[in-house]
Amino acid sequence: MARAYWKGDVVKGTHPFYLSPEWRAMRARIKARDGYVCVWCGADVRGKGKARVDHIVPMEFMWALRLDPANLRTLCTRCDNKRHAEKGRGVADLGAHTDGTPRDPAHWWNQQPKRTKQ
Ligand SMILES: [Zn+2]
């Protein structure tokens, strides 16, 4: 059912989840955890509209992880756009199996977690 949300422009923040207080609170928490820098390029994302909190495994694959800090990271808008360009190519190019498990053995999911859950 929820999948229909992903078939179009709804990906751009209009999914009701992105408007929920839970998500807003979690976003603030993740940005603070990551020190207000992009985890990919290190860019400072302090300031309005600069930070994107990204789902490592997209919500449409792993709905249960949508508010799991271990599945969230801070990106700058540039890296986020880069990532979503990749996303558009499909699951295989994301480097993940359809269940959301990463194919890449170097992926942190396949290693010891670097970050402890808060
Ligand atoms: Zn970045």
Largest pairwise CA distance in the chain? 37
Which pLDDT score is estimated for 91? 44
Cα dist. 15→51, 65, 74, 90 in Å?
A: 18, 16, 19, 19
- Assess if residue 109 is contained within a domain: no
Instruction: Give 74's strand partners.
Output: 53
- Assess if residue 118 is contained within a domain: no
- Please give the span between the terminal C-alpha atoms of the chain, in angstroms, as a whole number: 31
- Assess if residue 58 is contained within a domain: yes
Which pLDDT score is estimated for 114? 52
49-103 tens-digit pLDDT: 999 999 999 998 999 999 999 999 999 999 999 988 865 554 444 566 666 677 6
Q: Tell me the pLDDT band of 2, cut-offs 50, 70 and 90.
A: very low
- Assess if residue 106 is contained within a domain: no
Domain residues for the domain of 46 are 2-90
pLDDT at 17 over 70: yes
Cα dist. 99→1, 38, 46, 94 in Å?
A: 17, 26, 33, 12
- Assess if residue 49 is contained within a domain: yes
Quote the number of domains for the chain.
Answer: 1
Which pLDDT score is estimated for 34? 98
Name residue 81's amino acid: N
pTM: 0.62
Which pLDDT score is estimated for 118? 54
Q: What is the distance in A from the centroid of ligand 1 to the CA of 46?
A: 12
Q: What is the distance in A from the centroid of ligand 1 to the CA of 100?
A: 23
Pairing state between β 72-76 and 51-55: antiparallel
Q: What is the distance in A from the centroid of ligand 1 to the CA of 72?
A: 14
- Assess if residue 42 is contained within a domain: yes
- Assess if residue 61 is contained within a domain: yes
